[in-house]
Structure 1
Amino acid sequence: MNISRRKFCGTLAASLAVANASSYANDSTTTPLRVIAYNIYGLTGWPKQRSLAKQAVAKGQMARRMAMELALHEPDIINFSESPSEELTQEVAKLLGMNHVRFASGGSWPGTLLSKYEISEFHNAPMATERPKELFTRHWGSATIQLPGGEPLVVHSAHLYPTAEPTVRLKEIRVMLESMKPDLDAGRSMLLIGDLNHGPDTEEYQLWIDAGWTDTFARVGKGDGPTIKADIPKWRIDYVMAAGPIADQIVESRPLFEGAFRLHIDDKESFALSDHLPQLAVFDAVKR
């Protein structure tokens, strides 16, 4: 069935309005915080050479497809790695009724942070000195999100250096931890979300844990939790990590191996929204 852009936007906006109204009609004073980390592969679909993926891109459908699939999971905060043009990520944000921040890349892989709540400030590569050219060629940025009730949440959005050799990635992590240290020491609620390009059995991972970060999937997830690739997932490299009080509120964490996020290998014409799967984490008892 074909659906016009106007009809889709109206339907999605109406659905979100009903959901919000229902939420606020509830007598409860708290609501879960739902967070998604997602490397979106430039919003080209994967495999991007398949004819249906090319058609979706050519017809300008990809932002709407992405918004529709994400809306099913009612996210409050979303991180995109490997973002496409800002026009497309702004379209996704508008369809989802979310605020939008873009983090420029040191190369050609910008990041995006979307939030249902106010983003009061943000910084690209917030390090004490100028960014060395060899670091953060993907992206790293931080933002402060004002949760309902006025509680600030510090969010770091990141996509670290790829390749099996970890030298550059280890340098990136140490720079990030130096920047994060005042907030970590102060016990502020913080999230680190994105494609970190390392597994949970690496030196890089241990640096995060030693610094006080909690891996949400390791805390409450089931199985191995691979996030790539979207056909037969084998590796876990996408994370939602938490620190401070919010780390004690984790109730769910899992990769979304479902719907349009997943490539159905028996259908040779199908495509997934990305080669990665989104990583969802849910935190309980956020005041509103």
Structure 2
Amino acid sequence: MNVPECSSLVSSATSRRRFLRRAGGAGLAGLGATCLAPFVRADPFAREEERTRPLRVIAYNVYECTGWPKDRAMVKKATAAGQMPDRFARELALYEPDVINFSESPDEKVVQQIAERLEMHHVRFPSGGNWPGTLLSRFEIVDPQNAPVVGGERPADLFTRHWGRATVKLPGGESLIVHSAHLHPAPEPDVRLREIPAMLASMREDLNAGRSMLLIGDLNHTPDVAEHRLWTDAGWVDTFVKVGAGEGLTIKADEPTRRIDYVMAAGPIAGQIVESRPLFEGAFRTNPADPQSFALSDHLPQLAVFDLAK
């Protein structure tokens, strides 16, 4: 199994509320580390408030953090001024996320800047093509694996976007297995119908053992197709189906028409879902009354909240 390339690991010394108050969002500049640098260890004696606070998870195809539509003057100005990492971090911080998935991640330098501003660890999952993924968390991330296909290397025509697995250590010491994924986007389901069984084979031991797991990302299929049924038949719970309202559309950020971004859960955490919704709000969407407005991405983030005290 392949191991993801180096990631910057950032301590959580300051709350994100302080980040929101800081002018300029300087973050923790200078705390980059090598692949062998230790993470900040989860504290088994963490305060009860920290150990039982809701877990907030966001799946987000970030469109390389270039803004959407790319051709608008304000997008070009924000990009030229180097503002996009700060804009992404500030908007995401409003939702106090604990775990974030990025599909279509930008350059590692940009990801590092966002992680520093959010005071999160992160690990990068290289793509089989040109669309890497990133898993970020304010908790310790261990044992990352890139495209952990059972029995060997991934086929060249599968996982051309990204798929990675890692374990997030929750404040009380519990382990949460997280799969970050971006499946093939072709209108025909052929490739996805090969990708999903390969992923399920890799997940089978954890699913059978009843471990808490999340599957988060841009799965590039709607909830009414065979691909979705493969997940649910295997035991994955679509958090939006369980607790969401409306259609939950996630693309595009001006007038969304499809739901293709997901937070799915399995094991005990699947019984702790209390909220799931796309974030069709703030800087994640365009303003139809302003032809020069832009969104951070063409996708909307999908937020899911879990009550760990349930």
Q: Which runs of 5+ in 1 are unaligned?
A: 1-5, 14-23
Whether 1:146 aligns to 2:169 is yes
Stretches (4+) displaced over 6 A: none
Aligned in 2, Cα 1:217/1:207: closer, same or farther, shift over 3 Å?
same
Residue 23 (structure 2) aligns with: 7
What SS does the corresponding residue of 2:308 show, helix, strand or coil? strand
Displacement after TM superposition at 1:232 (Å)? 0.4
Count of residue pairs brought into register by the alignment: 272
Among candidates 245, 250, 268, match of residue 245 of structure 1:
268
Paired letter, 1:9:
G
Residue 59 (structure 1) aligns with: 81
Displacement after TM superposition at 1:285 (Å)? 2.1
Whether 1:156 aligns to 2:172 is no
Displacement after TM superposition at 1:283 (Å)? 0.1
Residue 109 (structure 1) aligns with: 131
Whether 1:225 aligns to 2:248 is yes
Displacement after TM superposition at 1:286 (Å)? 5.3
What SS does the corresponding residue of 2:307 show, helix, strand or coil? strand
Aligned in 2, Cα 1:11/1:206: closer, same or farther, shift over 3 Å?
same
Displacement after TM superposition at 1:7 (Å)? 3.1
RMSD: 1.8
Q: Deviations over 1:207-263 (max 9, x none)?
A: 000000000000000000000000001100000000000000000000000000011
Paired letter, 2:229:
Q
Residue 215 (structure 1) aligns with: 238
For residues 72 and 101 of structure 1, the distance between their equivalents in structure 2, rounded to whole angstroms, comes to: 22
1:41-190 superposed matches below 5 A: 41-128=63-150, 129-190=152-213
Q: Deviations over 1:48-76 (max 9, x none)?
A: 11111011111110000000000000000
Aligned in 2, Cα 1:60/1:210: closer, same or farther, shift over 3 Å?
same
What TM-score results when the alignment is normalised by the length of structure 1?
0.91
Displacement after TM superposition at 1:26 (Å)? 7.6
Greater fraction strand: 1
What TM-score results when the alignment is normalised by the length of structure 2?
0.85
For residues 264 and 12 of structure 1, the distance between their equivalents in structure 2, rounded to whole angstroms, comes to: 32
Q: Which runs of 5+ in 2 are unaligned?
A: 1-21, 30-45
Residue 229 (structure 2) aligns with: 206
What SS does the corresponding residue of 1:253 show, helix, strand or coil? strand
Displacement after TM superposition at 1:29 (Å)? 5.1
For residues 292 and 132 of structure 2, the distance between their equivalents in structure 1, rounded to whole angstroms, comes to: 29
Among candidates 297, 300, 303, match of residue 274 of structure 1:
297
